[in-house]
Chains A and B, each alone.
Chain A
Amino acid sequence: MSLNGLLLDKRSSIIKKWRDLVISTYPIDTQRFLKREKDRFSNPVGQTIAEDLEILYDQLIKDNDIDQISRSLDNIVRIRAVQDFKPSAAVGFVLALKRLIRKEIGVDTGQGETKDDMEALEERIEAAALLAFDIYAGCKKKLYELRVIEATNQVSSLLERANLKVEIPEFDPVL
């Protein structure tokens, strides 16, 4: 069977394991809630993870639509960026897919076409991981911007009145 066939075959099992892995990064006492509460509005964290991991998987293994991938990564990473995670922990789940697939599929990657396919897939996953990191950094930057905007808004009319209103500076962090 081709790699893609295998990946489709094991789709639900891999996705489930992947989701469990992401959920397992939350406090043990809340994992069940995150998994079991199926209402999108009562449990946005758990449901976002469930829905977007599925999309991500499909996109990564076949369609590779970069917009879809970014959107789904954004949904998940945006949440994790404001929770108690270190940066590596917030985005680490993407790379974890690589190991998961290897473990699950267990193909000997040492031969021919499958090997190439596998390498291509792993490259895509790595790219997605990098993208996730960009998104994470973007979220943090956004938080900072919002803080400034809010502070300005709070006294906006005064500033305007006193002709003190300044436009929010463009954020171009010099590294």
Chain B
Amino acid sequence: MNFILGMVIAAIGMGPVVMIPLVGVGVLKLNFFFGVIVPYAALAIFVIGIIYRVMNWSRSPVPYRIPTTAGQEWSFPWIKSNPIDNPKNTCGVVARMIFEVLTFRSLFRHTKLEYRNTETGPKIDYEWEKWLWLAALAFHYSFLVIFLRHFRFFMEPVPGFVHLLEKLDGFMQLGLLPINGLGTPGVYLTDMLLMLAVTYLLLRRIYIPQVRYISLPADYFPLFLILTLGTTGILMRYLIRVDITAVKELAIGLFTLHPVAPEGIGVIFYVHLFCLCVLIAYFPFSKLMHMAGIFLSPTRNLANTSRMVRHVNPWNYPVKFHTYEAYENEFREHMIEAGLPVEKGLDSEPAKKAEEE
């Protein structure tokens, strides 16, 4: 498999994701199926799938305490330890995990700001790793904010935090886009960020040979999916308007378990919704499970207390090892000769027996 094939395969995978709702709703008019049944089914797969995967991981025990220690351990009071990168207790582990999950700390670690001497004096050179960390953060946070903003559709009245997010997120419309009157709603920062970040993540997969080398169709597919999801969303917002009241009716219906499939929502909405359904249904079976996996990672979520507290391995089993007795039996004569203390003298019973054997 090489990267061109990988992308082609992922793109072929995307075909049905777009075509099915286009045909299903646009031609066959299966609004209820695509507006209600598919989302519920996808959500069920998502929830059950994640629970299943996490349970499945948890079924395998953690036999050894193997944190990757990334700083000074706690030892003497006069040596400054690093309680986050080398946690001594649960508190430290929680802090470490919070940093990992919220700031991608490990990913940040290898970023270096670099000064390079050029003809015109020293110049700062941001290595691409910096961009990876930035793009990863931008992507995940935008995704989160956009997800939260969607509660505007699910809840009536719209909860306060959504308003707040929208205000923060949409601040651009005030100063930067004065021609608001033309019916163009304000631009959300996160919409742009998400698209930019995902595009960057995709481009680096194509452009950086090492990353290209390791990429599989399963790496392109989610990016394509998210790109399509975002594109259809943005299209709906800025170009192909759909009936928002009807969408809200459908969303609240889904949310309150009184599903309805109102008429007259543009087909593009169904493409958007179907993409999301595919994404969440695909989630438990893919690398996207890193969301849950990161919390279970034994090199990160264990405190470095290995020598203080005994970590118990549930399947620890006794092993046969070469005992001192066997050792002395083999070398007793030499040991005595060399003046090494022995358990049994040369003419003791067991020694003789060992001799005879």
Contacts and interface: CB of A to CB of B under 8 A. Distances in A.
Nearest to B207: A32
B212 interface: yes
Majority DSSP secondary structure for residues of B touching A: mixed
B137 to A, nearest CB: 22
B330 interface: no
B209 A29 contact: yes
A54 B116 CA distance: 16
Contacts of A28: 209
B210 A30 contact: yes
A38 interface: yes
Contacts of A36: 127-128
B163 interface: no
Contacts of B209: 28-33
Contacts of A33: 209-210
A116 interface: no
A32 B208 contact: yes
Interface in B174-213: 208-210, 212-213
Taking residues whose C-beta sits less than 8 angstroms from the other chain, chain B's interface range is 10 to 19
A39 interface: yes
Contacts of B116: 38
A73 to B, nearest CB: 24
A37 B210 contact: no
A38 B125 contact: yes
Contacts, number: 23
B167 interface: no
Majority DSSP secondary structure for residues of A touching B: helix
Contacts of B343: none
Contacts of A37: 127
Contacts of B114: 38-39
B112 interface: yes
A101 to B, nearest CB: 23
A172 B112 CA distance: 47
A19 B179 CA distance: 52
Contact of B210 (A29, A38, A39): A29
B127 to A, nearest CB: 7
A32 B208 CA distance: 7
A32 B125 CA distance: 16
Among B114, B116, B128, B209, residue most surrounded by chain A Cβ atoms (within 10 Å) = B209
Given A36-B128, A37-B127, A38-B125, A29 B213 contact: yes
A80 B318 CA distance: 49
Contacts of B210: 29-30, 32-33
A33 to B, nearest CB: 6
A49 B128 CA distance: 21
A32 B213 CA distance: 12
B209 to A, nearest CB: 4
Interface in B212-236: 212-213
Nearest to B128: A36
Contacts of A29: 209-210, 212-213
B213 to A, nearest CB: 4
Contacts of B128: 36
A62 B304 CA distance: 59
Interface in A29-63: 29-33, 36-39
Contacts of A30: 209-210
Among A29, A36, A37, residue most surrounded by chain B Cβ atoms (within 10 Å) = A29
A33 B128 CA distance: 10
Interface string A9-36: 0000000000000000000111111001
Nearest to B112: A39
Nearest to B212: A29
A168 to B, nearest CB: 31
Nearest to A42: B112
Interface in B330-355: none
A29 B210 CA distance: 5
Given A32-B209, A38-B116, A39-B127, 11 more contacts: A29-B209, A30-B210, A31-B209, A32-B210, A33-B209, A33-B210, A36-B127, A36-B128, A37-B127, A38-B125, A39-B114
16 contacts: A28-B209, A29-B209, A29-B210, A29-B213, A30-B209, A30-B210, A32-B208, A32-B210, A33-B209, A33-B210, A36-B127, A36-B128, A38-B114, A38-B125, A39-B114, A39-B127
Interface of B: 112, 114, 116, 125, 127-128, 208-210, 212-213
Interface of A: 28-33, 36-39
